[in-house]
Structure 1
Amino acid sequence: MAALKNYRHHFSSYFDDALCFGAKYLNDSVAHDSNIKKFFRFYYNDYIPVLAAEEDDFAGVADPCDARRRAAGADLEALIVSLAPGPDDAICFPSVDFYSLEGLVQNIEALKRAGNPKIMLRFIGVMENAAHGFADPLCVALANVRILIANGLNVRLSAETPRYAEMLAVALDAEVVVTPSIEHGSILPLPRHDFIHVICPGSARADKGFFDLESIFSHVRQRDPDLRVRFTTQVLPDKDIVHQQVYHAKLYALPGVTVLPTSVSAEEMAGLYASCDLVLLPYEKETYQFRGSAVLAEAVAYGRPVLTLEGTAFADQVRFFSIGDVLASRSELVEAILSFGATSRATRVARARHARRRYLSDLTSNYRGWVN
C-alpha cells in the first residue's frame, strides 16, 4: 500500500490528480489510510488465497479463467464509464496483471471512444504471470499487449529493471522505459554503535534467500565471536513456521541475531533502517532473473548500502548506481560482511549520497519519459 502512496505522490508532478483503485475486498482501514477506492473484483484468489470461498466471486464456477477474464472486462468498462477519461488522461497499472490486460483488450473500442487515453503498463515480473490454467501466462499477456498496440491504443510500456525492459523491448518490438521502484524516504544518519548491524528486511521467503541466512550468519559468527557484526531478520508467516521449527530454532540460537515478526509497521521498518549499517539481499537468481527489489529502493532512499548475489536483475542496478556490492557466492557474502567495518563512516556516507543522487535522478528522468 505504501507503494501506491509513492506513485500517487510522484504522478502528481505530471497530472492534476491521481486516483487509486483497488480490489473491492480491501480492508476498510487500509483502503482509507492509502486513499484507495475499492472497485475491482479480486481475480487471483486461486493464486493468492486471501478470501473465504463465500467471498470469492469465482469459486465453483465452471470455467474460472473465462469468468475472471469477463469480470476484468466488465470492471474496466464500468471504470471507464464512471471516470470518462479523455486524451489528456492516463490509466496506469504500476504492476500490470494478467487479467487487467485481458480486460483492456475487451475495452479497446470503449477506450477509443473515450479519446484514447494513455495506457501505462509497468511490468515487474509478478502478476503478469499469475494465471493458473495457462502454460505460459506471460506469453498470453504479451500477445494482449501486441493487440492493444496494433489497434492504435496509446500504450506506454515500462519495466522495473533494465534486463526486463530489454527482454520486453525485443519481444514486443517496442520502446520500454526502465522504471525502478519509487521510495520517498529521507537519507538517515548512520547509527552510533561499536558494531556493524546487518539487516534482512521484508517478507521471509525462500526466493529471498531466507533459508540461506542461518548458514551465512553462523559462518560470520564463527569468524566473529566478539559480535562485531550483528544481524536482524524477519521470520516466516505463522502458517509456514510450523513446518520450519528446527530452522527457526537455529536462527534464534545464534548469538547476535535478532528475529522480528513476519510483519512490522512502517514506523518500525524505518527504525530498523535507522539502526542498521548494511542491507543483505541474498535473493535467488532464478526467481529474480527479471525482477527488481522494493527493499533495494528503500535502502537507497535511506542511504544504506546493500550486498547481493550475482545473477539477479537488480544486481545490475546495484552495480550501475554504486549502491553496494555484488558477490559471486554466499561465501563471498560472508567475507564482504566481515570486511565492511574497515570502511570509514565518512566514506560510507559519501557513497550513500552519491548512489541516492544517481538513483533518484535516473528514476525521475525515466518516469518523465514514460509519462510523456
Structure 2
Amino acid sequence: MSGTPPLFCIADQSLRDFVGHHFSYDQAVAEAARAAGFTPLVLGHRDLPADVACQADAVPAFRDDIWAQRQGVGPLRRRRDDLFRNRRFAEDLRAALPKDLPAGSILLAHMLTRRQLLGLAEVVDALPRHVTIVALLRYQTEFYDDDLSRRAFARLRRAVGAGARLRLASDSARLARRIGRLAGLPVEVLPIPHTPPELPRPAPAEGRALHLVSLGNARDEKGFFEILDAIRRLRSEPGGLAGLRFTLQANDAAPALAAAIDDLAMDLPEEVRLLRRALSPQAYTRLLAESDILLLPYWREIYEARTSGVLPEALGGGRPVICTAGTWMADELALHGAGILVADHDPAGLARAIRLARQSWTRLAAGAEAGRALCLARHGGDAFMRALVAPPPPPLPAEPPRRVQILYPWPDFLDRAAGASLRSNLMAEVVAPHVEEVCVMQDGAAPTTRRGNILVESLHERRLIRLAKSLGWRALRLLARPLSGAAHREEVLFPWLHLQRLADPFFRRRMERQIGNADAVLLEYGFWAGPVLRICERLGVPCVLTAHDVIEDRVPGSALLRRLTGWLETRALRRASHVVAVTPGDAARFAALGVTARVVPNPVDVAAMSRPLPAPPRRMLERLGIELADRDICLFVGSRHAPNIAAVATLRDLAARLQAGMGPAAPLIVIAGSAAAEEEAPGFIALGRVHAMALAALYQAARLALVPLPEGTGSSLKTLEAMAAGLPVLGTSVAFRGLAVTDGAQAAVEDDLGRWSARLPALLADPDLLARIAAGGRALAANYDHRRVMAAYLPLLGIPEDSEASQALPRLMADDPRLAPPAPARPRLPAFSGGTLPVG
C-alpha cells in the first residue's frame, strides 16, 4: 500500500519472560525500528504473560521455544521431531505475519537452531521478494551441522538464486566465518542492539567494598561453579572477603549447579547476596548501575566464538569485566573496555584476578570509562538498524586461523619419544605462538593436559566401542590370514588402522565437535582420514595431512593387502586440502599418484640437543642409576618399530663379534628406547626407555651414533638428533634417507653390515675424522632446526610466513604455565591504554 510504513517483524520463539536477553534484545530492536520509520511487530511465545507482552509490545504467536523437543527418544524419532518443530515454526510464523507486507519490510528471525532453519526456508520461499529476511545465527557450528540444517542451507541458497532478499547474520565475526563455511552463503556481523541507558560512574573505591556482580541466569557454562569456588578460596585467605562484596543472579540453575548454590547458601558470607528469582528489566539495570565490575569467566569451549549480551551492557555502562582469555569477549575487551583476562576453568586464577581488581580499581575504572563511547558507537539499537537498512557488506575478509586442531592417531603425543610424537610436538610448538590455541586430540585415555596454549586431550573411547574394535580386529586378522601368511600376519595392522574409524559413531561425533570449533586441521598420518576429511569438507575447514611415510611400503607380504592399503592411503591423500611429505622420495611417489605434496622434512630441536648438562655426562648417568663400563660408547636410540628391532639384532651380533675380536678394548654398544627390553651382555647393554635427561647425557657421553637400519620410509629423526648433539653417525644409506650426506664428510655411510666390525673400530681410532664428521653433521642438522623447518606449515594454515609470533595475553602467574591464557590470533586488535590489565 502506497504511503504505508514498512513493517519490521521480530520473530522470537523464546520471548516468554524476562530470563535471558530475549526481552532486552527485542525491545531494543523494536524501539530502534520505530525510530527508523518502521512499524515494529514482535512475535513471541504463546505463553507470554500479559505484563511482559505489554512491556515488549509483543504478540503471542509460537507454540514452541527454540529448545522444544521430545526427550528420551532415539535418533530416528529425534529427527522426526525436529522436522515437526520446523513445520510448526513455519506454520506459526506464516499465520502471525500480515497477509500484505508493505515494500521495504524486514523480517528478523533470531536465536535459530536446526529446529527452525528448514521452516524459515519455507517461509522465505513464500514471502514476496520485496521483503528482506534476516536470519540471525548466534550459536556454535554444532547447532547447524546436521542433515536438516544442510537441507535448509541448500534451500536458502536456491531461494537467493531465485531473487529472495535473504541476509544471514551473526553477532560474532568468529561465528560468522564458521557458519558461512557451513551455509555456503556470506554471513555478515551485526551489532548487539541492547546496551544500557546512561549509567552513573562508579563511586571512588576508597572506604567502601568493591561490588562484583554476575548477571543473567545461573548456568555452568557461564563459569558459575568457578565463581562460587573463587569466593570460597577468597574467604579462606587471610583477610577473607574484606573490601569485596558480591551479588550473584542465581535463578533458573540446573540441578547440579543449584545444589552448589544451596551449599554456599547454607553458610552464606555476609559479603555475598544471592538473587534466586529472575530480575525485571528495571531491577536488572539497577543492579548493573550498582556494580563496579562484572564477572564473566565463561567457558571457552562454549564462548570462544559465541557472544554474551552482558558484555556490551557492561562495557557500554563503563564497567570493567573479568572474562576468559581467547574468547569473543576478549576480542571486545581489546577493542573498547578494561578488565582482566583469566584462564579457562580456573577458579584459583579468578580469585587472584578479583584481588587484583581491588588493588587496581582506579586504573580499571578509568580504562572502562575511556572505552565506553566506542562501545556505544559499535553496539546498540541505532547501530543495529544502520547495519540493516544499509546494503549488505562485502563478505568478511579471510583471516589467519585462531584455533588449530591437531589429530594424532597414537596415545603417546606427550612422550616425545617416538619420531612421530617428537615431530608433531615440534610442529605444535612452532604453530602455537601464531594462534590462540592449538588443540591436540590423541588416541588413548590419558588425562587432559595444557602446556601454555597447547591443549592435549584423549579420545577416551567407550567400553562398547573398544569391544567392537577388538572383535573387528580379530575378524580382520582371521580373514587376512590366508592372504598374509604367518611371516607377514602383522601387516594387516595397516589397513586396519585406516578402516577401524569408518563405522565408529562415537569417533565421528567427537571429530565433528573438535573440527567444528577449529579454523584449520593438521592430520598426522592418513589413518583417520575417512571420517575426518568428510567432516572437514562439509564444514569447509582446511585440512593439512602429513604423510610421515609411505604406508603402502609397510605391507610387502600380501599383494592384496598392499593394494588395499595403497588404495586407502591414496584416497586420503587426494581428499586433503594440502599434503605434506617428509622426504623428496615420498613426494615423488605421491606425485605419481596425482597428489602434489610439499616436502617438510623431519626437524630437530638443535638448541635442546646441545643444551649443557648440570654435571659431566657420566656423573649425570650415575645419578640417574645408569652405570656404564669405562669404554668408548656407541649409541643407538629407537622406539619399538620393526626396522629398529631389526637394527638392535644387528647391533647385538656386532657387539659379540667386536668383543670376540677386541676383548676389553671393544666399544660398548648402548641401546636406549623401547626397541629392546632391558638386557646386558659383554660389550652390549639395552637400557629400555630412559628419562630425557639420561638420553641427553648418553648423547654427550657417546663417541659415535650407530644407525644400521635395514629399511624404512619417511626420514630418520634419530639420525638428525645425533647430528644435532654433535655426535658422528655411522649408518646405512637408509639411515640418511632424505639427507644430503657424503661418506666421510657429514656421516660415515656403510651398507655392508659385515664390514661394520672393521669400520667401527677404525672410526674410533681416528679422532680427527670423527671430529670432521661431527662438525659436518651438526652443520647439516642446523638446516633442519624445527623453528626453520616447521615454519613451512604456517602458509598452509593461512598464516603469513613472515608473521611474527604474537605476544602472550596477560597471565596471572608467570611461574604457573597452567594459568597462561592463549596467545591472541593475528591480526592484533587495537587496545586502549589502560584497557586489558597486564598482570603477573
TM category (shorter chain) comes to 0.7 to 0.9
Residue 68 of structure 1 aligns with which residue? 85
Displacement after TM superposition at 1:5 (Å):
0.9
Q: Does 1:232 align with 2:247?
A: yes
Separation in structure 2 between the aligned mates of residue 139 and residue 62 of structure 1, nearest angstrom? 13
Question: Does 2:189 match 1:177?
Answer: yes
Q: In 2, distance between residues paired with 1:309 and 1:37?
A: 38
Please report the RMSD computed on the Cα atoms of aligned residues, expressed in angstroms: 3.2
Match of 2:131 among 73, 93, 117: 117
Contact 1:289/1:313 (<8 A) preserved: yes
SS at match of 1:185: coil
* Alpha-carbon displacement from aligned partner over 1:62-81 (angstroms, at most 9, x marks no partner): 9433333333333333344x
| Larger RCO (alpha carbons 8 Å, 6+ apart) | 1
1:52 equivalent in structure 2: none
Residue 32, structure 1, aligned to residue 54, structure 2: yes
Contact 1:89 1:118 in 2 (8 A): yes
Q: Which residue in the other structure is 2:368 paired with?
A: 352
C-alpha separation between the residues in 1 aligned to 2:94 and 2:160? 19
The alpha carbon displacement at 1:216 in A equals 1.0
Matched, 1:335 2:352: yes
CA 1:144 to 1:22, structure 2 compared with 1: closer, same or farther past 3 Å? Answer: farther
Q: Can you list the C-alpha shifts for 1:136-188, whole angstroms capped at 9, x where unaligned? A: 66555544543432332111232121211222334434151232352242222
The alpha carbon displacement at 1:278 in A equals 0.7
The answer to whether structure 1 residue 89 and structure 2 residue 105 are counterparts is yes
Pairwise CA distance, 1:17: 1.7
2:342 & 2:254 partners in 1: Cα distance? 32
Paired amino acid for 2:112: V
- Give the direction of change, closer, same or farther, for the CA distance of 1:321–1:152 in structure 2 (3 Å limit): same
Give the structure 2 partner of residue 197 of structure 1. Answer: 211
Following the alignment from structure 1 to structure 2, what is the Cα–Cα distance between the partners of residues 212 and 218?
Answer: 10
In 2 relative to 1, CA 250–115 (structure 1 residues): closer, same or farther, beyond 3 Å?
A: closer
Please tell me whether residue 163 in structure 1 is matched to residue 178 in structure 2. no
Amino acid corresponding to residue 58 of structure 2 in structure 1? I
> 2:340 is matched with which residue?
325
Residue ranges of structure 1 left out of the alignment (5+ in a row): 50-59
Q: What are the Cα deviations for residues 51-104 of structure 1, in whole angstroms up to 9, with x where unaligned?
A: xxxxxxxxx999433333333333333344x24124311111243344443233
What are structure 2's unaligned runs of at least 5 residues?
Answer: 1-22, 72-76, 391-840
Deviation at 1:45, TM superposition (A): 6.2
The residue that corresponds to 1:287 in the other structure is 302
Contact map agreement 1:309 1:328 (CA 8 A) in 2 = yes
Relative distance call for 1:244 and 1:350 in structure 2 (3 A) is closer
The answer as to whether partners of 1:24 and 1:40 remain within 8 angstroms in 2 is yes
Contact 1:165 1:178 in 2 (8 A): no
State the alpha-carbon separation in 2 of the partners of residues 235 and 106 from structure 1: 39
Residues in 2 aligned to 1:128 and 1:28: alpha-carbon distance in whole angstroms = 35
Query: 2:829: which partner in 1?
Result: none
Partner Cα separation in structure 1 for residue 90 and residue 157 of structure 2 = 17
Structure 1 contact 14–371 (Cα < 8 Å) conserved: no
For 1:39, the aligned partner's letter is A
Note the 1:206-221 alignment, pairs <5 A: 206-221=220-235
CA contact 2:140–2:305 (8 Å) conserved in 1: no
How many residues get paired? 354
Residue 479 of structure 2 aligns with which residue?
none
Alignment CA distance shift 1:288-1:300 (3 Å): same
Please point out which of 275, 280, 295 is paired with 1:265. 280
TM-score, with structure 2 as normaliser: 0.39
1:181-239 C-alpha deviation (Å, 9 max, x unpaired):
52242222214651211111111111111111222112223154261122221325377
Secondary structure at 2:305 match in 1:
coil
Partner of 1:250: 264
Deviations, residues 304-362 of structure 1 (Å, cap 9, x unaligned) = 111111233222212222342322353333222112233354x4454233222111212
Q: What is the TM-score normalised by the length of structure 1? A: 0.82
Aligned counterparts of 2:115 and 2:361: Cα–Cα separation in 1 = 50
* SS in structure 1 at match of 2:300: coil
Deviations 1:279-302 (A, max 9, x none): 111111112232111111221232
Counterparts in 2 of 1:318 and 1:126: CA distance versus 1, 3 Å: same
Equivalent residue for 1:187? 199
Query: Does 220-229 or 278-287 show the bigger shift?
Result: 220-229
Counterpart Cα distance in 2 of 1:173 and 1:109: 16
Are the aligned partners of 1:197 and 1:276 in contact in 2 as well (CA < 8 Å)?
yes
Which among 7, 12, 28 is matched to residue 6 of structure 1? 28
Closer, same or farther: CA 326–15 of 1 in aligned 2, 3 Å: farther
